[in-house]
Amino acid sequence: MPCPPPIPVQPLCPPSLQHLLLPCPLPQPSNSPCKRKKRSTPVTSVDNDYGTNVHALCTSNYIRKIILKNLSTDAKISKAAIYSELKAKQKGDYVVLCSQSSLLFTSDSTNYCVGGNTNHLCYVFEL
């Protein structure tokens, strides 16, 4: 059932009292169930120290475990090991990136994870 049109707000200060220069009360917020609801997503902080709070950037615990299991001191070796295990154990296609600095990314992937150690971060996205 559609919502009814909004009710016009009547002035809260009667015209007879406006000459007194008193502040008028503000209109109260509407409790209508049809009112626009603000939706927000929880904000997750990521610490600068690699690996301390990075697990908050994972939608797949399985991918997270593969990343953490295959981390080495070298980003190139980590990338190859993570990709190899994903291809061997999963049916999907993946993108694996490892970098010594954090990356900004935008993705439509529903399965992704970021994990790392003190040397580098690895990003995995399922295509």
Whether residue 74 is contained in a domain is answered as: yes
Work out the average pLDDT over 17-38: 59
| CATH number, position 85 | 3.30.740.10
Whether residue 120 is contained in a domain is answered as: yes
Q: How many domains does the chain divide into? A: 1
| Closest by Cα among 106, 119, 35, 34 to 79 | 119
- pLDDT for 92: 87
Whether residue 87 is contained in a domain is answered as: yes
Whether residue 71 is contained in a domain is answered as: yes
The range of the structural domain enclosing residue 88 comes to 56-126
Answer yes or no: are the C-beta atoms of 59 and 67 closer than 8 Å: no
Is a pLDDT exceeding 90 seen at residue 56? no
Whether residue 112 is contained in a domain is answered as: yes
| Closest by Cα among 66, 93, 97 to 79 | 97
Which pLDDT tens digit goes with each residue over 75-127?
A: 999 999 999 999 999 888 999 999 998 788 787 888 899 999 888 999 999 98
Whether residue 105 is contained in a domain is answered as: yes
Helix (H, G, I), strand (E, B) or coil at 123: strand
Whether residue 116 is contained in a domain is answered as: yes
Whether residue 11 is contained in a domain is answered as: no
